[in-house]
Structure 1
């Protein structure tokens, strides 16, 4: 494989692994704010136990998320030097804003959140929890703004030529509110809330199946189910809004998502299918004219297809993009049905009577994670062959001095290190879940580094 493919694989792997954790941190942050607010309002000690329990798991996801996120910044310089030069002014502004508005807020309150129990008043601790939660959301804002600028550039002009060309901001707020940033940010937030809510649902469904911590788990399950239902439904609306934006700003990407080849013709919407790029056909289950109706409420409205663009300007991995997009849609639809059915049983007073449903919820934690990952794969692969849409091609964004063997060696090294980190995460997460929401004083005060040492030594 050439250096471009290897560099893309390496960056995709490191980003995908990193993105396991920030959505969990954002989603758990919302759950923690709700639970701790209920504790202050009611004085019920069970809510306090839940808040302490999920704060520990939040700390675990937050810590590994920070550690794995640092690597990507180095990759910009090592593998993508031309890209870094081109977008440096834009990304520099966004990442500086992240440091000011997000990291400062998180770091200012994180110590109180983790170590302030029994040391500050409950309302002060709640304030710290809200601060850390808002900080994690603001962090997502600036990352999504920077990525959205690559999809729909705005508020800039180009200075220089050739390898020395770079984008320079002319209007900061036009850059921030570029045509796709708001839709993509809302959709990203909602996916994060679902990731956190379904982790809570999964853990407490496990407890209910085992007959452990039943009373406290029923409370946590209902809170998480409420969050999951609201955001699974709202994600349907934000997804529709995002699709309309893609149709307007990136028609080649939309055509790739649905396998639509005709330059200008009514477009079908597929429930599932398989794209044959050479024959320019899609076989599968479809709604004739469904994409046209989704965009214009008319089954006969022409939609721009892939043949309207030169072949070198189209995404190349059409079937992969198609499959990733439809997996995301299928998962989102299933989560809506699952949460609505659970809410119906709750209304009927039979929420915890269906053991098979608790089994589904126990493993449902995987679904938002898969949905988030494949959604990003579809979005980023659909932007190709551009790294900055319409301006800078991915093949031109590479570092000129990096060689294939260097990228391959670092990719293997990253894989080994991240595999160890993932094992560590699963070990610590499993240990905390098995221990449960009720802390003994020993485990409550035990430093995290002792648990990590125990994992490494096998003690």
Structure 2
């Protein structure tokens, strides 16, 4: 393997690992804020216990996300200096906004929330967790604005003398059509992750018959959050697919193993292809499905890999402009499959615990526990599809991945950093799981009954 391959593996491993924490942090912050809002309105100890219990798990995940996220910025200078030189003028603005506005907002108010339980009034303390939750979402928006520019570069000019992209319209970058649909898709995916996490943790407690009334309520919250967010994922994903078809037709064609331009194109369920000769041996399809997904019409025209390749050669010069077809095809399907499974688990769970029922066997609880991983896998596979489907470009149509790597890094140095980061992240994974399990086993703390609550509504199970 050369430096390019090692650098790509390192960036892929560290980025996918980091993104395990990001959606859970975004979604769980809002869920905790919602639980505290319920306590503020009712003053019922059950809500407060759930707020503090899931709040501790949120803080562990947040801290680990911060630690692993720092590495991403270092990698741009370590392994991707040519890329950094090219995009630095454009990326500087949204990433600075993320650091100065969003991260400052979330970290400051999160600190106030942690240490302000007995120092701030209940209303002011509630505002701090909502501010932190909003800050995490804003942080995601600015980072996604930078990534969306790589998918669909706008608001810049190319300096022919320096060979760098120079920012000329920050508003165009922040309101990039790619970002406007990617952001809600990511946020909805984050809520699916948070909902399944709350459900899985609650199921683990119910399996052991601990705090049954409390965790039956939180399980229902997790399932409702998951299902509502799943609907949002489907709608935003449909819009995103249409924008992707217009902006990056090769990515959509590779996702469907569609080799030639086609009208009334079917959605591929299972395909076995011949990449060298550009055709499929087997392709099981849903008729008209791809045209409907990509164009909102049954007879819409969708571009194919072979035809796009020919057009790109005329536009960009000789070269292979196809991503790894098999990886793009299956990551797209697995992303959808794991997301659908998460929604089905939540839907089945709502039926099983309707009224005050609880499942009698053990297997529904274990399905919910292991279901925590379903949206995390779906989110990660979605990003693998997004980034790998853009290849061979780091900045679509402007800079190829092969031209982005640092020229001064040797194979040995890249291999050592890859091994070091992989081992470090493996150790962090063990620490993360150990800390989460420690506090899950400990369970929620008892809270004293508040005085003078009057006729405040009771917690509904």
TM exceeding 0.5: yes
After TM superposition, the structure 1 stretch with the greater mean CA deviation from structure 2, 223-232 or 381-390, is 223-232
Cα distance in 2 for partners of 1:105, 1:74 equals: 23
Equivalent residues, number: 439
**TM-score, normalization: structure 1?**
0.92
Cα distance in 1 for partners of 2:283, 2:342 equals: 23
Contact 1:33 1:130 in 2 (8 A): yes
Q: Name the structure with the higher helix share.
A: 1
Question: Deviation per CA, 1:225-261, whole angstroms, max 9, x where unpaired?
Answer: 1111100111110110010001111101100111110
2:423 is aligned to 416
Pairwise CA distance, 1:274: 3.6
Structure with higher RCO (Cα < 8 A, 6+ apart):
2
1:185 is aligned to 183
Question: Deviation per CA, 1:183-240, whole angstroms, max 9, x where unpaired?
Answer: 1111111111111111111000111111111111012111111111100111110110
2:274 to 261, 276, 280: 276
1:447 is aligned to none
1:132 is aligned to 132
2:197 to 195, 199, 216: 199
Pairwise CA distance, 1:440: 10
Relative distance call for 1:111 and 1:261 in structure 2 (3 A) is same
1:226 is aligned to 224
Q: How does 1:58-457 map to 2 (within 5 A)?
A: 58-161=58-161, 164-279=162-277, 280-281=279-280, 283-310=282-309, 312-347=319-354, 350=357, 352=359, 355-438=362-445
Pairwise CA distance, 1:293: 2.4
Contact 2:200 2:372 in 1 (8 A): yes
Q: Report the 3-state secondary structure (helix = DSSP H, G, I; strand = E; otherwise coil) of the residue aligned with 2:389.
A: helix
Relative distance call for 1:127 and 1:282 in structure 2 (3 A) is farther
Cα distance in 1 for partners of 2:424, 2:139 equals: 25
Contact 1:151 1:180 in 2 (8 A): yes
Pairwise CA distance, 1:104: 1.4
Cα distance in 2 for partners of 1:21, 1:191 equals: 12
Contact 2:254 2:328 in 1 (8 A): yes
Relative distance call for 1:122 and 1:237 in structure 2 (3 A) is same
Contact 1:39 1:48 in 2 (8 A): yes
Cα distance in 1 for partners of 2:11, 2:446 equals: 40
Question: Deviation per CA, 1:139-178, whole angstroms, max 9, x where unpaired?
Answer: 10011110000001111111134xx311111111111111
**TM-score, normalization: structure 2?**
0.91
2:458 is aligned to none
Q: Report the 3-state secondary structure (helix = DSSP H, G, I; strand = E; otherwise coil) of the residue aligned with 1:158.
A: strand
Relative distance call for 1:188 and 1:440 in structure 2 (3 A) is same
